[in-house]
Amino acid sequence: MTIDPYSHTPVYVQLADLIRERIESGQLPPGASVGSEMSLSQEHGIGRDAVRMAIALLRSEGLVTTSRPLGTRVRETPPRRKVELAPGASVVARMPSGKERRSLQLDEGVPVLEVRDAEGNVEVFAGDEVELIRPPA
């Protein structure tokens, strides 16, 4: 798999696709490093900007996290706890705002579940920590 600078899809999207595939195939397991910006730039013959944008895209999808000076690693996802959805409740999924993300201490790329119960009370859950359940009849 190589990157084609003449393709109509942006180079940074191509690199993100490539790395995403390696993560989803298990070739890059949770905790594994995806390589430094420098090495990725050199290995694929692309610029620093493209590498950084690719990494930022993967971060925004919740697939990786980056820290100094370890670099970018495949994100380890927490176990999900089951939450029962009450009768008359409704739920929507969306990305948190910046403030919300910081206050809930969510990683980038983690959606939230907004649950509204029959009385109109709203509760927000981290999307990677819960699994909503409607119990069997």
Candidates 53, 65, 66, 71: give the one binding its own copies (CB under 8 A): 53
Q: Is 118 an interacting residue with respect to its own copies (CB under 8 A)?
A: yes
Instruction: Concatenate the DSSP letters of all residues of 65-111 into one string.
Output: EEETTTEEEEPPPPPPEEEEPPTT-EEEEEPPPHHHHHHHTPPTT--
20 binds its own copies (CB under 8 A): yes
Contact by Cβ (8 Å): 130, 113: yes
Q: What distance lies between CA 130 and its chain's CA centroid?
A: 15
Q: How far apart are CA 70 and CA 57, in angstroms?
A: 19
Phi, psi values for residue 125, rounded to 5°: -115, 150
Q: How far is the CB of 136 from DNA (least distance, A)?
A: 45
Task: For the segment 15-74, give every residue that binds DNA (CB under 7 A).
Answer: 35-39, 41, 45-50, 52-53, 55, 66-72
Nearer to DNA, 71 or 111 (CB): 71
Closest to DNA by CB, 48 vs 94, is: 48
Other Cβ atoms less than 10 A from the Cβ of 107: the count is 15
Binding site for its own copies (CB under 8 A): 13, 16-17, 20, 24, 53, 56-57, 59-63, 80, 82, 85-99, 108-113, 118, 127-128, 130-137
Binding site for DNA (CB under 7 A): 5-6, 8, 10-13, 35-39, 41, 45-50, 52-53, 55, 66-72
